[in-house]
Amino acid sequence: MPLDADQAALAARVSNWGRWGAEDQRGTLNLIDAAAAVRGARAVRRGVSFSLSIPMDEHGPQTGRILGRKNPTLTMLQASFAFSGDARDFATSDDEVVTGTQSATHWDALAHAGYDGKLYNDISSDVITMDGGASKLGIEHFGPLVTRGLLCDVARLKGVDYFNEPYAVTGADLDACLSSGSLRAEPGDVVLVRTGQMHWLRVGDRNRYADISPGIGLDAVEWLHDHDIAAIANDTHVFEPYPCPGANPYLFPTHMIELRDVGMPQGQQWDLDELAEDCAADGVYEFLLAATPLPITHACGGLVAPTATK
Q: Where are the domains positioned within the chain?
A: 5-65+102-309
- Over the stretch 7-62, which tens digit does the pLDDT of each residue have? 999 999 999 999 999 999 999 999 999 999 999 999 999 999 999 999 999 999 99
Range from 88-92, 139-143, 151-155, 241-245 carrying the lowest mean pLDDT: 241-245
Distance in angstroms (rounded) separating the CA atoms of residues 188 and 148? 8
Band of pLDDT at residue 137, cut at 50, 70 and 90:
very high
Radius of gyration of the chain measured on its C-alpha atoms: 20
Band of pLDDT at residue 128, cut at 50, 70 and 90:
very high
Q: Is the pLDDT of residue 129 over 80?
A: yes
CATH code, 5-65+102-309: 3.50.30.50
Specify the pLDDT at position 244. Answer: 85
Beta bridge partners, 193, equal 152, 234
E strand or H helix at 149: strand 146-153
Specify the pLDDT at position 303. Answer: 97
Specify the pLDDT at position 83. Answer: 92
- Over the stretch 233-265, which tens digit does the pLDDT of each residue have? 999 999 999 998 777 777 899 999 999 999 999
Supply the mean pLDDT for the chain.
95
pTM of the model as a whole? 0.95
Specify the pLDDT at position 1. Answer: 52
DSSP notation for 28-75? GGGG--HHHHHHHHHT-SS--EEE-----STTSS--STTTT----EEE
E strand or H helix at 180: helix 171-180
Instruction: Residue 310: name the closest of 288, 290, 292 by CA.
Output: 288
Q: Is residue 127 exposed (0-12), middle (13-18) or buried (19+ Cβ within 10 Å)?
A: middle
Beta bridge partners, 49, equal 309
Distance in angstroms (rounded) separating the CA atoms of residues 64 and 58? 12
Band of pLDDT at residue 98, cut at 50, 70 and 90:
very high
Q: What is the mean pLDDT of residues 75-89?
A: 93
Helix (H, G, I), strand (E, B) or coil at 307: strand
Contact of 303 with 105, CB cutoff 8 Å: yes
Cβ atoms within 10 A of the Cβ of 279, count?
23
Q: What residues contact residue 213 under an 8 Å CB cut-off, 6+ apart? A: 163, 166, 195, 197, 236, 237, 238, 241, 242
